Every structure is written in C-alpha cells, then in structure tokens.
C-alpha cells in the first residue's frame, strides 16, 4: 500500500499513537483521550507504509528479531528469540523499592549509562499537566538519578515524536524503553533512517497487556470524587511491600498536597483484563513480550512471586552483550535472578498470550481489521468453547463502550453515564471470565 497515509490507519482504528510518523509536538488528543497525529498527512506513501507498526507493509516481529538476534539459541513461538530468561529482582540500591516490579528496567537503563554504553535513555516520566495537558511523557534522561526518578509503569498514552527529534538532532548513543509496538516502531524507523540506526543502540521492551487511554485517570478522579483539574500526579500501582504485588492501588496526588487512593478491585473498571479504555489497535497485536527488544521485562505473575509485594520481574535477554552484563551482575550479587525457561515466562503472561493468540485468531475471523494486516496468527477460533468466545466479545464491547460513555460523562459532567454501566459490565464480565482456563 504505497499510498498509505496516517489518516488511513487512524480511520481504521489501528493507530496506537506512537508518534513515529509525526514531527516533534505534532501529536494531540482525540476526543476519547488517545494520542493521534495532528497532521496525519505529514508523512505518507512508501516511507510511512514501511515504518508504521500497524501498516500492512511493515515487516513483522519475526523478521525484525531474526535479523537482530540471528544467533539466539532459543526461538519460542510465544516469547520469541532469546539468549537467557530469568525471574528475580535488583539486589543493589533502591531500584526494586522504586520500581513497579523488581526494578530491572531502571537498573539496566542505569547500567548502560554507568558503563558509558549510552549517553541518554528515552523513557516515560511524570509531566506537568499544566504545560501540555499530559500527566506523563517520554523524555531523555542522561543520569542515573534521572532514570530512577522516572521509574514505574505508566498506563497512559505517550508518544515518541519529541525524543526521536532530539536523537536526530543531538549526536550520541541512546537506549529506548517502550511497549512492544513502540519498540517495533523504533526498529522500523531505524531501518528507514541511518541516523537513528546509528544512534539508537539499545532497546528495552516492556511486556504489554494493552494500552489505556487518558480517560482511566478521569475515571479514577470521578471515583475518588475529586475534580480532574485538581490532580497533580498519578500512580497506577502504588507499591506496598506488605501486600501482594498484584493488588494494585490507584493513587492521586492533588495540587494542595493531599492524596486520594483506592484499590483497583473496588473500582468500576478495576480489572485489567476486562479491557476498559483499551486502544482498539491492541486487539490486532500479537506481541506480548517485546519480541524485537534487546531485553524485555515483565511482572512475575505466578506464585510465590505475585504474593510478594516487593515486586518481582521476569526478564528475557535477547542480545548477547546485554546477556553478559546481566550474568556478570548476577555473579557480583548486584542482581538476584534465577534462570527460567520459556514455559515459565509464558505462564506468567498466560492471560495476555491467550488474548493475543487464540483471541486474536477469533477476532481476525469475526472482526477482520479494516486494513489487510499481516499477522503471525491465522484467522480461526471456530472451535473455541462458547464461553471463551463470549469473553472475547464482551472485552471488545467493554473497550469500545468505555471510550464512548466516558466521553459522554466528561462532556456532560454526569459521571454516572460511565460509572453505572462500567460497574455492571465488570460484574457480568467477571462472571463469564472466572475461573480462568488452565
Ligand atoms: C502499558 C503497559 C502495559 C503493561 N502490561 C504488562 C503485562 O501485561 N504483563 C507484564 O508482566 N508487564 C506489563 N507491563 C510492564 C510492567 O508494568 C513493568 O513495567 C515491568 O515489569 C518493569 O518493571 P520494573 O520494576 O523492572 O521497571 P521500573 O524500574 O519501574 O521502570 C519502568 C520503566 O519503564 C518506563 N515506562 C513506564 N511506562 C512506560 C510506557 N508507557 N512506555 C514506555 N516506557 C514506560 C519508565 O520510565 C521506567 O524507565 C506493562 C507496562 C506498560 C507501560
């Protein structure tokens, strides 16, 4: 599709909002709280068709990983090519306490800076909502302290346009942290632009269930009964070493310095798997574990780790040089990591993989994407149990309805328009989805 334009991807509900196609600052909010290119005709034609991660003409994750990790000893259909895989956490410093899980992302980013392997790390840190209406954004950190200050997971729309512009403008070597489709976008941009290929030397991937819209923060504010204008800072999962890691707490800091918080399971939309505010493009993604990243990180969502409130990572190392750095740090007792196999990692992401494999197969057949995407999963799912098909159907409905109802709730100021049906839908979804299949 040589004439593919960003507007076509947006119209097909397949724009993830990564900002790879936009000039710096040329991304803005759509009406449901997702970032979209403001001038969707800025790049078009062949260059865009090759670099958009949801373009039918972009190479897939297998092709990128085969080229980047040709000698990887293991190639697994669920978690990709890799050198080594681990479960554990950072032993040294405050990385674990400061991170969302075991602190490994911030540690690897810091180690790359400490060893002089990169001069900057592009990652996501709190932003000033007064400055550009965003609670979080990508920035380039150039010191360990800055990297640590940006730790923790932000389930919020972010985009790469300004950090890519800075990398183009300022010579140096850079690492980029991102969810799987963003890392894919970075590799596609590297393939198209020699300057990015030379300067972006390391990619750090986050496992990903799906991306949320900015409306999740509005919903927190509605449920905690504070005006969104009074919110100064957001934490999606406040850490508490005394409680299981998977008991998320949403936490808002207000402008007057006070705070409000609530456990996710008391929230109308507090079940990650139900898909509230999910970007529709995520329904057509088949990469859970950042298969194209040099190293990828997730949460160890299996016992005994999920009950350990201090947080535990699973880590997949795909690049041999990073594998050596990690091995050396384990030997030096700076990292507490145990080797694990592909089954162990896949098990920690069982729900995400089900949604992106059998669920994707079913969606490709029943709700084909509006552009002819090439996926690594074939349309099918006809033989799934009826209940599973309903789980996928209801998740899709929740994702779409949550965008529309929250838009109406925001426009009218009548929050019950969203909250009442959201609560009802969650009850019904949980009846259908639990217990989870083995
Ligand atoms: C949208 C999203 C969905 C996720 N889904 C899953 C999942 O299904 N399963 C799973 O196991 N893990 C998932 N994760 C990853 C998980 O939340 C942790 O980020 C991961 O385990 C790393 O924890 P850590 O303690 O090592 O990282 P930390 O030391 O806390 O560092 C996190 C790093 O990631 C950066 N960062 C935070 N948010 C973003 C973002 N949106 N985009 C780019 N960089 C960011 C921060 O700036 C920081 O550098 C998801 C993360 C995100 C952002």
Q: What angle do CA 236, 132, 144 make, to 5 degrees?
A: 60
The answer on pLDDT for 247 being more than 90 is: no
CA of 219 to the centre of ligand 1 (A): 21
Give the confidence band of 436 by pLDDT, cuts at 50, 70, 90: low
Residue 204 has which token pair?
């750090």
CA distances from 366 to 38, 290, 361, 362, 363 (A): 31, 26, 9, 6, 5
pLDDT tens digits along 317-358: 999 999 999 999 999 999 999 999 999 999 999 999 999 999
The answer on pLDDT for 1 being more than 80 is: no
CA of 298 to the centre of ligand 1 (A): 7
Q: Which atom of ligand 1 is nearest to the CA of 178?
A: 43
pLDDT at res. 428: 94
Q: What is the pTM of this model?
A: 0.97
Mean pLDDT, the chain, integer: 95
Identify the residues whose C-beta falls under 6 Å from ligand 1: 99-106, 109, 123-125, 150-155, 158, 177-179, 206-209, 211, 297-299, 301, 311, 313, 349, 352
Rg (CA), the chain: 21
CA of 111 to the centre of ligand 1 (A): 18
Diameter over CA atoms, the chain: 59
pLDDT at res. 42: 62
Q: Where are the alpha helices (DSSP H) in 92-133?
A: 95-98, 104-114, 129-132
pLDDT at res. 117: 98
Q: Which atom of ligand 1 is nearest to the CA of 156?
A: 41
pLDDT tens digits along 178-213: 999 999 999 999 999 999 999 999 999 999 999 999
pLDDT at res. 2: 60
The full DSSP string for 289-334 is S-TTSSEEEEE--STTGGG-TT--EEEEE-SHHHHHHHHHHHHTTS
CA of 203 to the centre of ligand 1 (A): 13
CA of 387 to the centre of ligand 1 (A): 31
pLDDT tens digits along 152-183: 999 999 999 999 999 999 999 999 999 999 99
CA of 152 to the centre of ligand 1 (A): 6
Entry field: residues in the chain: 438
Q: What percent of the chain has pLDDT over 90?
A: 90
d(CA 49, CA 46): 5
pLDDT tens digits along 35-77: 999 876 666 678 899 999 999 999 999 999 999 999 999 999 9
pLDDT at res. 107: 98
Q: Which atom of ligand 1 is nearest to the CA of 208?
A: 5
Q: Domain 6-212+281-354 belongs to what architecture?
A: 3-Layer(aba) Sandwich (3.40)
Give the confidence band of 429 by pLDDT, cuts at 50, 70, 90: very high
CA of 206 to the centre of ligand 1 (A): 5
pLDDT at res. 25: 74
Pocket test for ligand 1, best of 19, 53, 98, 153 (most atoms within 8 A of CB): 153
Residue nearest to atom 50 of ligand 1 (CA): 208
Comparing CA positions, the residue from 303, 370, 316 lying closest to residue 86 is 316
pLDDT at res. 178: 98
């Amino acid at each position: 599709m040589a004439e593919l334009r960003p507007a076509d991807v947006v119209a097909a509900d397949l724009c993830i909002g990564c900002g790879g196609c936009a000039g710096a600052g040329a991304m803005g909010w759509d009406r449901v709280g997702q970032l979209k290119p403001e001038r969707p005709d800025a790049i078009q034609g062949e260059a865009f068709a090759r670099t958009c991660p949801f373009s039918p003409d972009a190479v897939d994750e297998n092709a990128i990983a085969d080229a980047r990790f040709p000698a990887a000893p293991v190639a697994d259909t669920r978690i990709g090519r890799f050198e080594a895989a681990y479960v554990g956490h950072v032993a040294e410093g405050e990385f674990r306490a400061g991170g969302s899980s075991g602190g490994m992302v911030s540690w690897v980013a810091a180690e790359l800076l400490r060893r002089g392997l990169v001069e900057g790390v592009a990652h996501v840190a709190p932003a000033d909502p007064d400055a550009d209406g965003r609670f979080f954004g990508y920035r380039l950190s150039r010191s360990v302290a800055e990297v640590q200050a940006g730790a923790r997971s932000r389930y919020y729309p972010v985009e790469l346009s300004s950090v890519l512009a800075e990398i183009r403008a300022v010579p140096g070597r850079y690492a980029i942290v991102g969810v799987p489709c963003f890392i894919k976008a970075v590799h596609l941009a590297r393939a198209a632009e020699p300057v990015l290929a030379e300067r972006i030397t390391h990619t750090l991937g986050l496992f990903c269930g799906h991306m949320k819209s900015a409306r999740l923060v509005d919903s927190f504010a509605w449920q905690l009964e504070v005006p969104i204008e009074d919110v100064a800072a957001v934490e999606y999962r406040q850490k508490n070493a005394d409680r299981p890691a998977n008991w998320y707490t949403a936490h808002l800091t207000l402008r007057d310095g006070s705070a409000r918080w609530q456990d996710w399971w008391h929230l109308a939309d507090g079940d990650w798997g139900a898909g509230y505010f999910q970007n529709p493009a995520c329904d057509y993604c088949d990469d859970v574990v950042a298969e194209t990243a040099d190293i990828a990180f997730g949460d160890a969502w299996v016992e005994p780790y999920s009950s350990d409130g201090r947080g535990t990572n699973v880590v997949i190392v795909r690049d041999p040089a990073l594998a050596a750095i990690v091995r050396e740090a384990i030997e030096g007792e700076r990292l507490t990591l145990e080797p694990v196999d592909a089954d162990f990692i896949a098990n920690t992401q069982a729900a995400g993989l089900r949604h992106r494999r059998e669920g994707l197969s079913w969606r490709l057949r029943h709700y084909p994407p509006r552009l002819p995407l090439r996926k690594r999963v074939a349309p099918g799912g006809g033989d799934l149990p009826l209940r599973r098909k309903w789980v996928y159907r209801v998740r899709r409905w929740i994702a779409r309805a949550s965008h529309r109802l929250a838009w109406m709730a925001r426009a009218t100021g009548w929050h019950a328009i969203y909250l009442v049906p959201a609560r009802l839908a969650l009850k019904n979804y949980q009846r259908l989805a639990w217990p989870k299949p083995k």
